[in-house]
């Protein structure tokens, strides 16, 4: 399994094979010095290996505690291995048990419930203000990676009307082609504000791109329908005075950081409960494995007797 920050090999070994054999194979496959791999890898066996795979599946070994993508990546690796015919017996049972244990962690703990990224937290706060977002309109300023993540989270939350404004129209259009919506120029923002309920800005501009005057004008035309605004940029994209206006809920990246820190603490508390579930999963798998081995022995004995 290979992800953005890990390459791991899960294997069932017999006949005296061990860690060095796996390292030798990996070195030859990628044309890398085996000593370099040995110096930068770890190896778990038996119950420790079982526990590690379950922790990975549950998101306890991720850079962002509890993030759900890793489970999908592990399932994809398993599907590829099944297709190649390289996963059977103990290893197959281990992965299947890991998936069910990870599902139990998700359903019985709050490990993945609190948003711990800027993009996700922005959308959670917007939902707290507007409730369902399906009828809301969003204006995203900038077309970088953060804007892309915000756009994807908004789409998942039900936003249908999405506009991306950028200094260059071509870059905005590229992002629109990926996430949907309409492309616009930053110069169009004063007119676009009138229809926008959610404004999230993340540009590299050294000066604010949205001032108090433009927001005041838009509020009058909107008959003071509220704005939800998030300024993710450093330095700021939205003038601080905008936050003083009635009917404007303005959050900065510092405000989001406070929410994220509390959410991380919540996930850490949930991780303790997750560890208990994983320990039970390890015991269950080990017990099933012993029963399976006993069954193999009985089958051999029966065959020999016959």
Active site residues: 4
Question: Strand 161-166 and strand 182-185: pairing?
Answer: parallel
| C-alpha closest to that of 53 among 209, 285, 276, 220 | 285
| C-alpha closest to that of 222 among 137, 159, 151, 142 | 137
Q: For residues 200 and 52, what is the distance between their CA atoms, to the nearest angstrom?
A: 39
Cis peptide leading into residue 235 (ω within 30°): yes
DSSP 87: -
Residues in Cβ contact with 163 at an 8 Å cutoff, skipping those fewer than 6 apart: 137, 138, 139, 140, 181, 182, 183, 184, 192, 196
Q: Which residues pair with 199 in a beta bridge?
A: 139, 229
141 membership: H or E segment, kind and range: strand 137-141
Query: Helix, strand, or coil here: 231?
Result: strand
Q: For residues 72 and 117, what is the distance between their CA atoms, to the nearest angstrom?
A: 19
Sheet with 182-185, edge to edge strand ranges: 182-185, 161-166, 137-141, 198-201, 227-231, 248-252
Q: How far is CA 7 from CA 47, 69, 237, 288, 293, in A?
A: 20, 15, 38, 28, 30
Q: For residues 233 and 252, what is the distance between their CA atoms, to the nearest angstrom?
A: 8
């Amino acid at each position: 399994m290979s992800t953005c920050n890990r390459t791991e090999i899960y294997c069932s070994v017999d006949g005296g094979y061990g860690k060095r054999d796996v390292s030798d194979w990996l070195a030859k496959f990628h044309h890398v010095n085996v000593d370099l791999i040995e110096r930068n890898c770890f190896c778990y066996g038996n119950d420790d290996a079982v526990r590690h795979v379950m922790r990975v599946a549950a998101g306890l070994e991720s850079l962002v505690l509890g993030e759900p993508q890793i489970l999908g990546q592990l399932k994809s690796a398993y599907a590829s291995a099944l297709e190649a015919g390289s996963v059977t017996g103990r290893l197959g049972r281990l992965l299947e048990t890991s998936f069910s244990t990870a599902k139990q962690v998700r359903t019985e703990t709050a490990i993945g419930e609190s948003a711990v990224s800027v993009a996700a937290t922005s959308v959670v706060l917007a939902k707290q203000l507007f409730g369902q977002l399906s009828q809301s309109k969003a204006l995203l300023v900038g077309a970088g990676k953060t804007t892309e993540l915000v756009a994807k989270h908004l789409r998942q939350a039900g936003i249908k009307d999405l506009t991306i404004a950028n200094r260059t129209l071509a870059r905005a259009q590229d992002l629109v082609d990926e996430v949907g919506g309409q492309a616009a120029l930053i110069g169009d923002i004063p007119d676009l504000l009138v229809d926008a309920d959610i404004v999230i800005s993340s540009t590299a501009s050294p000066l604010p791109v949205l001032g108090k005057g433009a927001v005041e004008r838009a509020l009058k035309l909107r008959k003071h329908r509220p704005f939800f605004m998030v300024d993710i940029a450093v330095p700021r994209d939205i003038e601080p005075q905008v936050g003083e206006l009635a009917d404007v809920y303005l959050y900065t990246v510092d405000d989001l950081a406070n929410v994220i820190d509390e959410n991380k603490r919540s996930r850490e508390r949930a991780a303790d409960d997750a560890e208990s579930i994983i320990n039970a999963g390890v015991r269950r798998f080990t017990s099933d494995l012993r029963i399976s081995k006993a069954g193999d022995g009985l089958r051999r004995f029966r065959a020999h007797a016959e």
